[in-house]
Chain A
């Protein structure tokens, strides 16, 4: 009755005798149900498939094969090549995003006319659909009439034909699209650095480099690390840009997974590969998070 006293006595909840706990659960349960149906259940179901030689297109029951799928995948040089290409892509694109994003944040961390408009324009790339970005950058890279070759004066250089060129070109597109995300987080960190620290450094005649490495960078490194974690996870799973721009020439592990699962319908092996990717991403994320906790403690 004391609990009911917190409710409107004329409300239906009150008339039904709902407690705060019941109301809380009523709000949370749909989300939990959604997570179970669309996250937890598929996760467990696909883990089961990863131990079978199941093909969704053949209408036959799944045949248990134990760890065969994992063994075959981990001993397949083509799969290792996919992981190598993915790692190269992650290092290039995330490294570029961190440099460009942080650089933009440093430039924006001051007052100047139309700062709001400039910031909004810089944020626009990450608001676009990745498929659209891939398609129009594909046009920009065209060797015959694309503006990039024209502006750089490099004739008919083929950006997307050769695997190495295509990797750089796709990573560059990713950097263009996602540097604003890093810029946002870095800008938030920069604006939170107490000004008195800079004033104290100025009084002590500290140089700009010293101020940057001893004050700015340590204080915003937690946010930079958060940006690094998010962007690394995303880059590792990257599918849309390589798929739209040049499927054959940037064979990331996500492209391979798509081909295996939805074109070859090799459900068992695709599930095993998906779990290998999940374990790798979790491992990398754990390393980052541990480092982040250490940085925060400092």
Chain B
């Protein structure tokens, strides 16, 4: 009996010591959840510096973009602490803030002067919801264009283009020129096409590609304050924009119905398309000779102005938020204090991340660091975003359902598709 008690006590002590060691090990670790793309790899490299300085291990866990929203909210809805911070999309702010999933960072932002040191537009779109700040801008991004300089500068192409369209072949100065150039380079018998567009409907790809066209034509997705969509979403400008996007789609490679950043970059690196719509975060792969044989002849430009003088780029990028259910919130706050330092933001930019720190973003060093950084800096001044309300996901999928068939198959008319979407969004936004 005494021997059994002694064995039981030793076993219990061993378990207790193990649990203590485990919990003390956990206190020295932070987990950040993000989508699986290059910036997440850059962030992992960056946070290794934090580990060197503080001894706290930081792991960036990733999941494919198509699953990112689903997996994040599955964990948040379950009040799980699998990750301490999340680099979430701007559209999630409403849902995450309303659901109490993010920690309010308003005091942190004001105390550390983030509202003064970071670009105001990035704070507005990545962090602000309902008058409070819920994240720190982490990865600035916008939708832009890459193009084949060698095709554009070929004398024969220039001559043929001028003969057909009456002006010089160059970086498009407006959206109509972009459509002309796409049409000009579409030659299926040569396996060449004008443009690679976003059309994927697993999440927000198609919506992002289309929305910047809508904004550029002077249209809008509704009044974000009053939630009015009738007369705005189905306005003549939006109809024209949707028709323009449909026309552009006819100049994409065959079967281009579910394309996002991977497919668009692939079309470009395989020499299929003259112009590639993509977020700037994916352009490092195009500037790298190892991944793009045409890197030396790849140019970049911001989304051109529309026919009525408006110029916008779809906002991309994310802010980093602290998860309410994290048991290491204090450590997460310390991490954010480190992250917002100017030297850290400079390092972030050097690694390839798109800083939102004003001083770093506007420096000549940043602007000259890559062939696309100037176009990126230009784009960040004209960014505009989708709805950030709690029901944004419903609205995204309704937009996909209503507009994708028109864009990819020409089913119905642009007006009919937009009118149907107005009815859907009215219902979803509770206007009915």
Chain A residues with a Cβ under 8 A of chain B: 55-59, 78, 142-144, 156, 158-163, 246-249, 251, 259, 262-266
Query: Quick one: closest B residue to A251, CB to CB?
Result: B401
Interface pair B401/A263, CB less than 8 Å apart: no
A78: chain B residues at CB < 8 Å are: 401
Report the 10 A-B pairs with minimum CB-CB distance, sorted nearest first: A143-B254, A59-B99, A248-B201, A56-B77, A264-B394, A156-B254, A161-B257, A264-B393, A143-B255, A158-B255
Interface pair B258/A246, CB less than 8 Å apart: yes
Chain A nearest Cβ from B408, distance in angstroms: 6
Query: Quick one: closest A residue to B77, CB to CB?
Result: A56
- Return the contact of A248 from the options B69, B95, B258 (Cβ within 8 A): B258
Interface pair A264/B257, CB less than 8 Å apart: no
Chain B nearest Cβ from A244, distance in angstroms: 11
- Return the contact of A266 from the options B74, B394, B405 (Cβ within 8 A): B394
Q: Is B319 an interface residue (CB 8 A)?
A: no
- Return the contact of B397 from the options A58, A159, A263 (Cβ within 8 A): A263
Interface pair B101/A59, CB less than 8 Å apart: yes
Known: A142-B255, A143-B254. Is A58-B95 also a contact (CB below 8 A)? yes
User: With A and B bound together, what is the CA distance between A163 and B400 in angstroms?
Assistant: 14
A265: chain B residues at CB < 8 Å are: 73, 77, 95, 393
- Return the contact of A160 from the options B257, B393, B401 (Cβ within 8 A): B257
Interface pair B257/A59, CB less than 8 Å apart: no
Query: Quick one: closest B residue to A77, CB to CB?
Result: B420
Interface pair B99/A57, CB less than 8 Å apart: yes
A246: chain B residues at CB < 8 Å are: 257-258
Query: Quick one: closest A residue to B390, CB to CB?
Result: A58
User: With A and B bound together, what is the CA distance between A266 and B428 in angstroms?
Assistant: 11
B404: chain A residues at CB < 8 Å are: 248
User: With A and B bound together, what is the CA distance between A58 and B391 in angstroms?
Assistant: 10
Q: Is B100 an interface residue (CB 8 A)?
A: yes
Interface pair B254/A144, CB less than 8 Å apart: yes
Chain B nearest Cβ from A46, distance in angstroms: 15
Identify whether the interface residues of B are mostly helix, strand, loop, or mixed: helix
Interface size on B, residues (CB 8 A): 33
Known: A142-B255, A247-B258. Is A263-B400 also a contact (CB below 8 A)? no
B188: chain A residues at CB < 8 Å are: 156
Known: A56-B77, A58-B95, A265-B77. Is A259-B397 also a contact (CB below 8 A)? yes
Known: A143-B255, A158-B255, A248-B258. Is A58-B201 also a contact (CB below 8 A)? no
Chain B nearest Cβ from A228, distance in angstroms: 32
Chain B nearest Cβ from A252, distance in angstroms: 13
Q: Is B253 an interface residue (CB 8 A)?
A: yes
Q: Is B98 an interface residue (CB 8 A)?
A: yes
B76: chain A residues at CB < 8 Å are: 57
Interface pair B98/A58, CB less than 8 Å apart: yes
- Return the contact of A58 from the options B99, B254, B255, B405 (Cβ within 8 A): B99
Query: Quick one: closest A residue to B95, CB to CB?
Result: A57
Interface pair A263/B409, CB less than 8 Å apart: no
Q: Is B202 an interface residue (CB 8 A)?
A: yes
B100: chain A residues at CB < 8 Å are: 59
Interface pair A57/B397, CB less than 8 Å apart: no
Q: Is B54 an interface residue (CB 8 A)?
A: no
- Return the contact of B70 from the options A144, A161, A247, A262 (Cβ within 8 A): A262
User: With A and B bound together, what is the CA distance between A174 and B149 in angstroms?
Assistant: 45
User: With A and B bound together, what is the CA distance between A78 and B421 in angstroms?
Assistant: 12
Interface pair B253/A247, CB less than 8 Å apart: no
**Can you list, as one digit per residue, whether each of B81-109 has a CB less than 8 Å from chain A (1) or not (0)?**
00000000000000100111100000000
Query: Quick one: closest B residue to A78, CB to CB?
Result: B401
For window 254-301 of B, CB contacts with A under 8 Å fall at 254-258
User: With A and B bound together, what is the CA distance between A55 and B76 in angstroms?
Assistant: 13
Query: Quick one: closest B residue to A81, CB to CB?
Result: B401
B394: chain A residues at CB < 8 Å are: 264, 266
For window 318-355 of B, CB contacts with A under 8 Å fall at none
- Return the contact of A161 from the options B73, B401, B409 (Cβ within 8 A): B409
User: With A and B bound together, what is the CA distance between A247 and B397 in angstroms?
Assistant: 11
Chain A nearest Cβ from B380, distance in angstroms: 28
Chain A nearest Cβ from B364, distance in angstroms: 43
User: With A and B bound together, what is the CA distance between A143 and B193 in angstroms?
Assistant: 14
B70: chain A residues at CB < 8 Å are: 262-263
Interface core residue of A251, A262, A265 (most chain B CB under 10 Å): A265
User: With A and B bound together, what is the CA distance between A263 and B73 in angstroms?
Assistant: 9
Interface core residue of B256, B390, B394 (most chain A CB under 10 Å): B394
Interface pair B390/A57, CB less than 8 Å apart: yes
B409: chain A residues at CB < 8 Å are: 161-163
Known: A57-B76, A163-B405, A247-B258. Is A264-B99 also a contact (CB below 8 A)? no
B256: chain A residues at CB < 8 Å are: 161
Query: Quick one: closest A residue to B73, CB to CB?
Result: A57
Can you pick out 9 interface pairs between chain A and chain B where the beta carbons lie within 8 Å of each other? A56-B77, A57-B101, A58-B99, A59-B77, A59-B101, A143-B255, A144-B253, A158-B254, A246-B258
A158: chain B residues at CB < 8 Å are: 254-255, 257
A56: chain B residues at CB < 8 Å are: 73, 77
Chain B nearest Cβ from A106, distance in angstroms: 37
Chain B nearest Cβ from A160, distance in angstroms: 6
Chain A nearest Cβ from B425, distance in angstroms: 13
Chain A nearest Cβ from B244, distance in angstroms: 20
**Can you list, as one digit per residue, whether each of B372-415 has a CB less than 8 Å from chain A (1) or not (0)?**
00000000000000000011011001001100110011000000
B408: chain A residues at CB < 8 Å are: 161, 248
Chain A nearest Cβ from B97, distance in angstroms: 11
Chain B nearest Cβ from A97, distance in angstroms: 26
**Can you list, as one digit per residue, whether each of B3-41 has a CB less than 8 Å from chain A (1) or not (0)?**
000000000000000000000000000000000000000
B77: chain A residues at CB < 8 Å are: 56-57, 59, 265
User: With A and B bound together, what is the CA distance between A160 and B254 in angstroms?
Assistant: 10
B74: chain A residues at CB < 8 Å are: 262
Interface pair B255/A263, CB less than 8 Å apart: no
Interface pair B393/A263, CB less than 8 Å apart: yes
- Return the contact of A144 from the options B69, B98, B255, B257 (Cβ within 8 A): B255
**5 further A-B pairs in the complex, CB-CB below 8 A; given A58-B99, A58-B390, A156-B254:** A59-B98, A158-B257, A161-B255, A259-B397, A262-B70
